[in-house]
Structure 1
């Protein structure tokens, strides 16, 4: 089975990125998406097409002709009381909590989901895709979800999450089955 994840087009500038951002695509996101349609629209041939429940993922999937089914399991990490805030805002008010969160993947000082729980949830979604053999699954989701899937597939140490970047509209594929995934780039 091949599971391809597409990073949603952007909903805000990097400086205004917020935890659990529920905003729709911004003008730059729509422009980038229009340029990417010829490259990404063939993904609509996938047997199963999903998206995270965020507006920017839904809009990206719809623009690509995927008509994706929203999957709650593909939502971003639950950031508890930090939801809707920027990292800069949280660091200004809770610097020690941010340090703990970045250093300990089991911690959730924000009252939401720990990094390990988030990676496990995304890995569980990946492992339970119902297509057998050479089937193709496509999902549009946030970069954070793709980073978690990469960490899970590679069985990489949790600190690797903070050293992985996924740009809007990039594509990462996973080949394999439950618990045995290979990463395919390109």
Structure 2
């Protein structure tokens, strides 16, 4: 039985310069307008049998504005960043440059006291692998944090964890996977 999973990166909640670890802010005005403009092109996502989202406010709001009525999934939360939560990378790098270097170069490292990159990718992959499949061609949609989309892509492609840092994600961009537990493929639609 094969499943189709569409991950949609949430709309923005802050400027790129103000992105914070485990940010739970709501959509900003620009993000809200982005969703409104995208509704016609993304309305088809509401046809999915199962609709989920990361538990952050911006993911829930993006899903609601798109008419998905998504169910929040704890496994789709952002990477656990421990004491760095709520800070920007620039703020943390100014205070703990060695810790940031370790975190960026060693996927098993969690100098912030939270989750390592490797554990994060495994958690997101575990969520993918445990999606229910009632029939062939079942469709799942999830509005997710950019970090979750990057982690899922690493997992599906079985890419080395450091590949995570080489993936760019953009608001309201869908990424589609097809397959089943442990046997996923990236699909171009």
Report the equivalent of 1:130: 132
Contact 1:6 1:171 in 2 (8 A): yes
- Report the TM-score when normalising by structure 1: 0.99
Structure 2 stretches lacking a partner, 5+ long: none
Distance 2:187 2:65 in 1: 24
List per-residue Cα deviations over 1:1-47 (Å, max 9, x = no partner).
Answer: 10000000000000000000000000010111111101111100100
Distance 2:188 2:70 in 1: 22
Report the equivalent of 2:11: 9
Match of 2:79 among 77, 80, 84: 77
Moved over 2 A (4+): none
Match of 2:27 among 14, 25, 28: 25
Would the alpha carbon gap of residues 102 and 148 (structure 1) be closer, same or farther in structure 2, given more than 3 Å must change?
same
Q: CA deviation at 1:137?
A: 0.2
Distance 1:90 1:41 in 2: 39
Q: 1:182 and 2:182 equivalent?
A: no
Aligned length: 186
Q: CA deviation at 1:185?
A: 3.3
List per-residue Cα deviations over 1:118-137 (Å, max 9, x = no partner).
Answer: 00000000000002410000
Structure 1 stretches lacking a partner, 5+ long: none
Superposed, 1:137-176 pairs within 5 Å as: 137-176=140-179
Distance 1:113 1:172 in 2: 24
